[in-house]
Amino acid sequence: MAISYVRFSSLLIIVGIFLFGCGGGGDDGGGGGTEPSIDTPSSAVTSIEFQPGDPKYTGFDLQFEEGDYWLYDWEDYSGHRNIITGVWESTTKVGTVRLTLGSSKTLLGIPFFQVSVVNTGEANYDFSWSYIASYNNKIYGVSGDYVYLIFDAYNGTWKGGTFFTYPDNDNILGPADTFEINSANFESSGMYSVSSSSSMAGYTLFTIDYFSPYIGPVEFEESIRSDSSRDTETLELIESSF
């Protein structure tokens, strides 16, 4: 993807700041957390149990199937202030990103579906999750050798990561399970948001995911901002099998 955690940490290293504890693992799908090691990330999931009763937010028991997909408009904006002229200069790239569910495998007792990514135009998006699952009004993802809870509509909280970026890093975004799903500004449209931000050395990394009942992830924004520059990547749903 155009803006990533790696890109943000590298930017801070350039200005002499060491950003420690990167989140996530490889992209091979691994064992999905079935045999957690001594170095299991604190935000990884090692068991999945059904919780009875009504969820806090309804409409997220999505029943994933092979062939399900989401198609997004993709845009990457890069702008900076010219240090000589003081004029703001910018470029914008556009394209589409299609996420499609493939074959499934069982991890922690539930089916996870492999995710394929097709970019068109100038899109250069790299999805962080090798497999995803929907169960009990929650969305899970596999990154490297571990399972993470991406979106928890049952309890109304977020921990583990965001759908469009990477697993949660406790050192940067705070302890897992501390971010609540925000519905206050989206009740009229039925959308819910999950956001986070971190700042260092004059730069701020900001991410926000939007979810819609019976559809799932519908919009995303991630940006790296400072007083003299801004890089923003956005995804906006234009078609879905749901």
Supply the mean pLDDT for the chain. 78
**Segment 74-91, tens digit of pLDDT:** 999 999 988 888 898 999
Residue 111 has pLDDT above 90, yes or no: yes
Q: In the prediction, which pLDDT does 233 show? A: 95
Percent of the chain residues topping a pLDDT of 90: 45
- DSSP code per residue over 174-228: -STT-EEPB-TTTTTTT-EEEEEEEEETTEEEEEEEEEETTTEEEEEEEEEE-SS
Question: What pLDDT digit, counting tens, does each position of 148-187 carry?
Answer: 888 888 888 766 567 887 665 544 444 444 455 665 555 5
> Mean of the pLDDT values across residues 114-129?
95
**pLDDT score recorded for residue 75:** 97
Q: How far apart are CA 92 and CA 170, in angstroms?
A: 32
What's the average model confidence in pLDDT over 60-74?
Answer: 96
- Worst-scoring range by mean pLDDT, 3-12, 44-53, 85-94, 175-184? 3-12
36-39: which pairs have CB atoms within 8 A and are 24 or more residues apart? 36/146, 37/145
Global confidence as pTM: 0.78
The least confident of 19-23, 110-114, 211-215 is 19-23
Query: CB-side exposure of 119: number of CA atoms within 13 Å?
Result: 15
The pLDDT of residue 145 is above 60: yes
Highest mean pLDDT among 14-28, 35-49, 102-116: 102-116
Using the CB atoms, write b or e for 10-40: b if 16+ within 10 Å: ebbeeeeeebeeebbbeeebbebbeebeeee
CA dist., res. 43 & res. 233, Å (int): 25
Residue 150's pLDDT is 85
Domain borders along the chain are 5-19+27-35+56-240
For the segment 29-34, the average pLDDT, to the nearest whole number, is 43
